[in-house]
Every structure is written in C-alpha cells, then in structure tokens.
C-alpha cells in the first residue's frame, strides 16, 4: 500500500492492515497557511499575547523578522493537518489518548504554509482496541527543519 495521493486518504482495509505498516510513512497532508488572524485568535483564547506573536511592528525587528505562531498553536493544528491523511476501515471510533513526545525545532513565521507527514510508530493491543502512536512531523514549506514533531497516541476502537 502506498502513501496517500494528493487529497485522497490512504485507506487501510482494517486494523491488521494498519498494524502491518508500523515503521512506515503512512501519508502526507495538504498545505495549510498560518495567518495573523489565526495567531491573534489563539493568543486571545489562551491569554498568551507575547509580542513575538501579536505585534507585527515590534516583531519585524525581532529575531524572526515577523510574528510567529505559538508552538502550541502548531501542535493544536495536528487534527486539521492530519485530516485526510489516512483512514482505517472497521473502526467504530478513534479517541485521542494523548502525546508521548513533542518538540518544536523551528518557529513558524506568519504567512508560512505547514503540513503533516505521518509515520506509524506503533500499534499495540489495548483493553478496548488498538493504541496507535503516529508521529506527525509538521513541515514548513521551503524549510529543512520541521516546526514540530509530535507523537500522538490514539485508541482505535473496532
């Protein structure tokens, strides 16, 4: 089974087919632009209004030359960035179980486009299904280092 084609999720015929791909890249999401409106909304809802995020004038003379997205904003977009990468047949529901590891190797300047590259790290039996760890590497268009690398843990319930 190959990685997803642009705009078409990679479809696994069931949990066993999904589990067989442990260690493999399972797909790449669509590009998503980070605009100042989204950064400002995130700052407002979280109360994190640090100038590097919300003051374009001051940020222009800062270390990145522009405002940057909050690291946690980038992390919170994983459900959006991961949408459409893959689907597993025979799963009644998928539950967010948490995170194992998160890193923010590079800042995301306003106006950047980001996307997720997903790799299945593990898929182990759990009490009510399969606990899958998917590493999302959040790429920034035109950059060599990712914005975020996060291992998400999901419970797939058949």
Q: Which pTM was predicted?
A: 0.93
The pLDDT of residue 73 is above 70:
yes
Averaged over 117-132, what is the pLDDT?
96
Q: Is residue 98 helix, strand or coil?
A: strand
- Classify strands 129-140 and 86-88 as parallel, antiparallel or unpaired: unpaired
Q: What is the pLDDT of residue 2?
A: 44
For residue 3, how many other CB atoms are within 10 A of its CB?
Answer: 14
The pLDDT of residue 4 is above 70:
no
Q: What is the pLDDT of residue 1?
A: 42
Q: Work out the percent of the chain whose per-residue pLDDT is above 70.
A: 96
The pLDDT of residue 7 is above 80:
no
Distance from C-alpha of 52 to C-alpha of 72, rounded to nearest angstrom: 14
Per-residue pLDDT tens over the stretch 43-54? 999 999 999 999
Strand partners, 131: 124, 155
Distance from C-alpha of 78 to C-alpha of 148, rounded to nearest angstrom: 10
Nearby residues of 129 by Cβ (< 8 Å), 6 or more positions away: 15, 91, 155, 156, 157, 158
50: tokens are: 């640090």
Per-residue pLDDT tens over the stretch 142-153? 999 999 999 999
Binning pLDDT at 50, 70 and 90, where does residue 5 land?
A: low
For residue 150, how many other CB atoms are within 10 A of its CB?
Answer: 20
The pLDDT of residue 117 is above 70:
yes
Q: Average pLDDT of the chain?
A: 95
Count helices and strands (H / E) in the chain. 6, 8
Return the half-sphere exposure (C-beta side, CA atoms, 13 A cut-off) of residue 126.
18
Tabulate helix, strand, coil % of the chain (nearest 5): 25, 40, 40
What are the sequence ranges of the domains in the chain? Answer: 10-34+68-157
Task: Return the H-helix or E-strand segment holding 60.
Answer: helix 56-60
Closest listed residue to residue 115, CA positions, set 86, 144, 80, 91: 80
Binning pLDDT at 50, 70 and 90, where does residue 85 land?
A: very high
User: For domain 10-34+68-157, is the CATH number 3.10.129.10?
Assistant: yes
């Amino acid at each position: 089974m190959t990685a997803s084609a642009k705009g078409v999720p990679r479809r696994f015929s069931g949990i066993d087919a999904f589990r067989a791909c442990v260690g493999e890249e399972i797909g790449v999401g669509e590009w998503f632009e980070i605009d100042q409106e989204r950064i400002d909304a995130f700052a407002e809802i979280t109360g994190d209004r640090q100038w590097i995020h919300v003051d374009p004038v001051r940020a222009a003379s800062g270390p990145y030359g522009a405002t940057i997205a909050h690291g946690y904003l980038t992390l919170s977009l994983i459900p959006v960035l991961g949408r459409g990468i893959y689907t597993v047949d025979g799963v009644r529901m998928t539950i967010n179980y948490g995170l194992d590891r998160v890193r923010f190797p590079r800042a995301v300047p306003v106006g950047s486009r980001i996307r997720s590259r997903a790799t299945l790290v593990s898929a182990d039996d759990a009490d009510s299904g399969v606990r899958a760890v998917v590493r999302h590497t959040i790429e920034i268009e035109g950059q060599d280092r990712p914005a975020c690398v996060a291992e998400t843990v999901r419970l797939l319930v058949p």
